[in-house]
Amino acid sequence: MTRLAIFDCDGTLVDSQHNICAAVEEAFAANALIAPPRSMIRRIVGLSLVEAMRMLLPGSDDALHERIAKDYKDAFFRLRSTGAMAEEPLYDGIADLLARLSAEGWKLGVATGKSDRGLAHILSHHAIAGHFITLQTADRHPSKPHPAMIEAAMRDAGATPGATAMIGDTSFDMEMARAGGVRAIGVSWGYHAAAELSDAGAHHIVDDASALGAVLEQL
């Protein structure tokens, strides 16, 4: 039986909130808008960019949402290319967990609101790209919580919903897992509160990588 673990990226594998918030703030400033507080920005992490801007600016039109999304991409690229980007560390225990799961025969994937380029940079920087056999990003799929990324990952891995888990830190991840018919595992170290993960349908909520590994072994 093929066992597949699909990981969200921001807030689950890596702590990238500082750069995401900085890029949103720059994008808003470029459009003469006051950026929302960072507590609100963190809540949209995981969504595709245009959908995220719709949530931050619900009363604005699609043209503005798309323009700010483009300005966000430009700001993020500038931060990276000029060396102004903050460190985006792996969360404690994640590298060891990925190595162990790979050694035990798990198929691993990523489902993220990041672009292909952004995800490739993160995985390469932390030398973990080799663990993943399927990478699903906002470049090819509707925004979470649509289950398209999970469905594509299962096709790539040859896995069934009953042997697949989606691991993430937001309600969007839990809703996507439920929509895809797979196990929904929430992590408490990210950007949405544990109560929100539970309300969104999480089957399990874990507090560290060791606990995550133990839950996965039950599948």
- The reported pLDDT for the residue numbered 51 is 95
For the chain, how long is the longest CA-to-CA vector? 54
The answer on pLDDT for 148 being more than 90 is: yes
The residues facing 5 across adjacent strands are: 108, 165
- The reported pLDDT for the residue numbered 116 is 95
Report percent pLDDT > 70 for the chain. Answer: 100
* Cis, peptide link before residue 36, omega less than 30° from 0: no
Q: In what order do the strands lie in the sheet with 134-136?
A: 134-136, 107-111, 4-7, 164-168, 183-187, 204-206
Dump pLDDT digits (tens) for 50-65.
Answer: 999 999 999 999 999 9
Active site residue 139: no
Q: Among the options 10, 15, 71, 173, which is catalytic?
A: 10
Arithmetic mean of pLDDT, 178-205: 98
- The reported pLDDT for the residue numbered 86 is 82
Arithmetic mean of pLDDT, 106-121: 95
- The reported pLDDT for the residue numbered 101 is 98
The answer on pLDDT for 81 being more than 90 is: no
Arithmetic mean of pLDDT, 93-97: 98
Active site residue 15: no
| Alpha-carbon gap, residue 124 to 130, rounded angstroms | 9
Arithmetic mean of pLDDT, 79-93: 89
Arithmetic mean of pLDDT, 105-132: 96
8 Å CB contact between 111 and 147:
no
Q: Among the options 8, 15, 71, 169, which is catalytic?
A: 8
Arithmetic mean of pLDDT, 181-199: 98
Q: Which of 76-85, 116-125, 162-171 has the lowest mean pLDDT?
A: 76-85
